[in-house]
Structure 1
């Protein structure tokens, strides 16, 4: 009974799945609501508190039977799970959706939503999840080639045969989802392929790729660059303009003779391919669709990373080539989370983070993503681990070290209860957050309404607990709710607005969620707040389910 109650609270943003939906009810979709682009589910904005399964977990319905309740107990409302091409089309033209139906049933039984990840032609650049009848027929389904003519374990994005087979399978999946889920809306979005790109060389050197590289840059791209010049990514614009800002020419004539040009070239052809796949799927069942990017290590060059993926410098190329895609998403395992996430939170690209770290680091990052960048969703990887193993900067699991996943669960619990308020404040802009990243950063500043909040680290937290996030929700001009994680800090308030120059704390109340609402407990106007001079955050706040209501005033 307790588990059922926990799952219901975690899913409290929307009605449980038991109710029937009109067959013509609007599908999950993106919509602009005030200052934010939001995911709309069953007519209401929805905050994706997600987690992504390990790649192979969902291949077994039996394995997942024990996993679903654990995920619900972690206060997730959405699970990101792969669907592999080889699983649904083991023989050409013969489809089997038993595994998909098993995942739908498991999610519904635990009041969870699903975001499917289509592992079609590529997963992490490789073609490891394609059916055997594709994998073994390299003549019919050609590969990306190295500069010395060797095939690689990657299907070619230049092959219409590969593309059409991939698109057919994906369209069949979406047709099945329309039939199996068109009324219940268990599935919210779909990711198309996974972390595409070329490595260890910066581009495909097959004959067809060489021919395309020597040809004219498509007019659709040069026209897009010209019409969007003022808002292009600075690195892309600099490359184009340094080569003369030409309206036509070969790839090297338009972008220069550099390895970045190889990356941009591959980005256009990967995006064109994936845009075709997405369009084929949407023709059957038009759910929101996105792609994800494996990011770049510092100082790495194309070929050392996934050259051609939807990286910050190529977002505009992907938008030009693949208008059927709704979101370009970053998989963030690096430090500088705020910087990476900020590059993807653009007016033309709502922020959705499908893969990232868990533990206290992920919990603090989630507060920042939802509060500062109006993210529609956040999803740590490997969520089905009991005690999520942390990932290094390459995204490789270290099985010898385990991080307590409870911090994320505790923060998700608070976010699920605050979700209606957070979504409304994303619309109005009365929401922000700050993030202290790494041991070297001691403080962060953020504008909060008419005030400035300065967050300073208190004490030293080792390793995984070195990150501190604080979300501020404006409830009136002088009143804020503050949610903190995952270390000790203090917050002082100041102002640079006209009027009395000094800021005082009228009161601080700690609040806890009880009987469906936030209830005040202690008033912290004494030693706990340095005699009303500062708000203190503790590393136990999230675990105890505590938020703070702070009222400020100004004086001379």
Structure 2
């Protein structure tokens, strides 16, 4: 491993001539780990892996589906069938420290070795003290010793299967195991297979908004920390409206108790708890930074959806309305991430894709929309990646692979466009079928493919499948459009809106009664046409290879470009202007 190579290198330093030593150091340098990192480009944060822009196109395994080499092998084979470049695997504390102070990293070594053999990158999820709020992945020696490792309690004093974030003993045990894990990875993963790390999983209090254990009450009585007040003052313009509103309603006090500064309600309890969960996580993140100076670190949140209140959902997790508390208390964490299982996909991702929070979706419901969702978040939000949960149970791998492999081929191009305002993403379902983008003097209208009448499923009562894509502006009047289930038209930005006309199966008007009046007056202005449309593949160097040239029926005689709902294609479009 790297440590042994380092010792070997040092032992030879005094023995070899300069030329031979230089050659040796060059060879040994090939084995040194190249650590992943984040870098800013324009308005985006790019993930850099092996010194190149990288998008996490992957999946997360089921929680209990990677605890043996057989399980890991099966997951990786399915990942290959999906065209993934990354898999997120849990690391369970109970497996790596079955007896206190005795560590067994066999399960971790299996993941890294088997993934490396397939050239698949890995994100590790630390299932330490908390997993979905509960402390169910802790070793039994931790679970049984509740005097040493106390539980969180409800207001009535009821103990929960949740270790208290206010116990130093709890933190020390968690941090010891986490640090040993990271140190082992640093010494053994010389190829840099592990590229991202999640700390804990869906942290949050249940049954109550905050912990009422003795240690928690003692901390609560200290009042609001000055560091939090300072953060609020420095970031007034970007504070989440809900947090800002509570502070303003209480008079924007500069010190005081939690109720004096934020008001006396359940949401103030949540703010208090969020601060302390985040401080706990910050302690772990700092230890990670000592070992991995640049590897991205993140935390994930279970959503506060369906009208639930704090404690009915995991209270105080890294939720959008608590982002400022988490940023203030855990500055070493690179981003807060949503786990998405509810409707309203575009609204949810919009809450997390913020100037102070790069978007990464480590969990999303494993379903037909996933490939289209990935195209959308990368194109519209400069996302770092998206991972369907429990992908190893998926049934539609072939369709998904078309989309993931297509987007993987575009990564070199996307990496150049991130944050520069030259990229857009589209996402459509039955409730959202049209997207209009104005840029470069053009009005670009993208629609769901089923807005055309030519597929029987558009009108026979079938559920419209999710569709989406990504668009790159290569140069003025030149675009690359990739995705599935899209119809795209181009016109001047100042063109008058035209009344939609129902089309028949032959592509002409559905009936004579729909014909446009000829008494519109004299035409003024310019129009945009399709100079050429080619279906292409993207080579590793970013150049294009033409698969076929499209025209005639495939472009509705030059009126639009389109990609069917069952396909994923990349279209290279050149436009021209005429009058």
TM-score of the pair, normalised by structure 1 = 0.88
Following superposition of structure 1 onto structure 2, how do residues 453-464 of structure 1 map, counting pairs within 5 Å?
453-459=444-450
State the 1:116 CA deviation: 0.3
Following superposition of structure 1 onto structure 2, how do residues 77-116 of structure 1 map, counting pairs within 5 Å?
77-116=85-124
Partner of residue 435, structure 1: 427
Distance 2:463 2:108 in 1: 36
Distance 2:166 2:223 in 1: 16
Identify if the C-alpha distance between structure 1 residues 43 and 91 changes in structure 2 by more than 3 Å, giving closer, same or farther: same
Identify if the C-alpha distance between structure 1 residues 140 and 28 changes in structure 2 by more than 3 Å, giving closer, same or farther: same
1:305-362 residue CA offsets vs partner (Å, 9 max, x unmatched): 1101000111111110011211111111222222211221222221111001233211
State the 1:449 CA deviation: 4.4
Following superposition of structure 1 onto structure 2, how do residues 527-538 of structure 1 map, counting pairs within 5 Å?
527-538=553-564
State the 1:23 CA deviation: 5.5
SS at match of 1:506: strand
Is 1:50 the counterpart of 2:58? The answer is yes
Partner of residue 492, structure 2: 495
Partner of residue 364, structure 1: 372
Alpha carbons 2:409, 2:539 under 8 Å: kept: no
Following superposition of structure 1 onto structure 2, how do residues 299-314 of structure 1 map, counting pairs within 5 Å?
299-314=307-322
Distance 2:277 2:549 in 1: 57
Following superposition of structure 1 onto structure 2, how do residues 67-216 of structure 1 map, counting pairs within 5 Å?
67-181=75-189, 183-216=190-223
Between 1:422-431 and 1:319-328, the stretch displaced more is 422-431
Identify if the C-alpha distance between structure 1 residues 424 and 140 changes in structure 2 by more than 3 Å, giving closer, same or farther: same
State the 1:513 CA deviation: 5.7
Distance 2:183 2:370 in 1: 35
Distance 2:138 2:33 in 1: 34
In structure 1, which of residues 503, 507, 511 is the aligned counterpart of residue 532 of structure 2? 507
Between 1:42-51 and 1:170-179, the stretch displaced more is 42-51
Alpha carbons 2:199, 2:285 under 8 Å: kept: yes
Is 1:426 the counterpart of 2:423? The answer is no
Alpha carbons 1:81, 1:116 under 8 Å: kept: yes
Distance 1:214 1:353 in 2: 36
State the 1:512 CA deviation: 4.0
State the 1:114 CA deviation: 0.6
TM-score of the pair, normalised by structure 2 = 0.85
Between 1:461-470 and 1:164-173, the stretch displaced more is 461-470
Distance 1:71 1:264 in 2: 39
Distance 1:293 1:21 in 2: 39
Distance 2:426 2:437 in 1: 6
Following superposition of structure 1 onto structure 2, how do residues 232-251 of structure 1 map, counting pairs within 5 Å?
232-251=239-258
Following superposition of structure 1 onto structure 2, how do residues 284-299 of structure 1 map, counting pairs within 5 Å?
284-286=291-293, 287-299=295-307
Between 1:143-152 and 1:204-213, the stretch displaced more is 204-213
State the 1:21 CA deviation: 5.4
Identify if the C-alpha distance between structure 1 residues 33 and 316 changes in structure 2 by more than 3 Å, giving closer, same or farther: same
SS at match of 1:379: strand
Partner of residue 16, structure 1: none
Distance 2:540 2:49 in 1: 25
Identify if the C-alpha distance between structure 1 residues 22 and 519 changes in structure 2 by more than 3 Å, giving closer, same or farther: closer
Alpha carbons 2:527, 2:577 under 8 Å: kept: yes
Partner of residue 38, structure 1: 46
SS at match of 1:472: strand
Between 1:366-375 and 1:407-416, the stretch displaced more is 407-416
Identify if the C-alpha distance between structure 1 residues 555 and 235 changes in structure 2 by more than 3 Å, giving closer, same or farther: farther
Alpha carbons 1:500, 1:554 under 8 Å: kept: no
Distance 2:133 2:312 in 1: 12
1:444-497 residue CA offsets vs partner (Å, 9 max, x unmatched): 223454422222234356787532212101111111111122x3x422223326
Distance 1:274 1:29 in 2: 20
State the 1:149 CA deviation: 0.7
Rg bigger for which structure?
Answer: 2
Alpha carbons 1:338, 1:368 under 8 Å: kept: no
SS at match of 2:108: helix
SS at match of 1:541: coil
Identify if the C-alpha distance between structure 1 residues 497 and 424 changes in structure 2 by more than 3 Å, giving closer, same or farther: farther
Partner of residue 471, structure 1: 470
Distance 1:231 1:326 in 2: 17
Alpha carbons 1:79, 1:115 under 8 Å: kept: yes
SS at match of 1:271: helix
Alpha carbons 1:198, 1:306 under 8 Å: kept: yes
SS at match of 2:356: coil
Identify if the C-alpha distance between structure 1 residues 20 and 520 changes in structure 2 by more than 3 Å, giving closer, same or farther: farther
Identify if the C-alpha distance between structure 1 residues 533 and 372 changes in structure 2 by more than 3 Å, giving closer, same or farther: same
Is 1:444 the counterpart of 2:435? The answer is yes
Alpha carbons 1:167, 1:281 under 8 Å: kept: no
SS at match of 1:66: helix
Partner of residue 19, structure 2: none
Is 1:409 the counterpart of 2:401? The answer is yes
Alpha carbons 2:32, 2:191 under 8 Å: kept: no
- How many equivalent residue pairs? 515
Distance 1:32 1:458 in 2: 35
Is 1:481 the counterpart of 2:472? The answer is no
State the 1:506 CA deviation: 2.3
Q: Which runs of 5+ in 1 are unaligned?
A: 1-18, 388-403
State the 1:100 CA deviation: 0.8
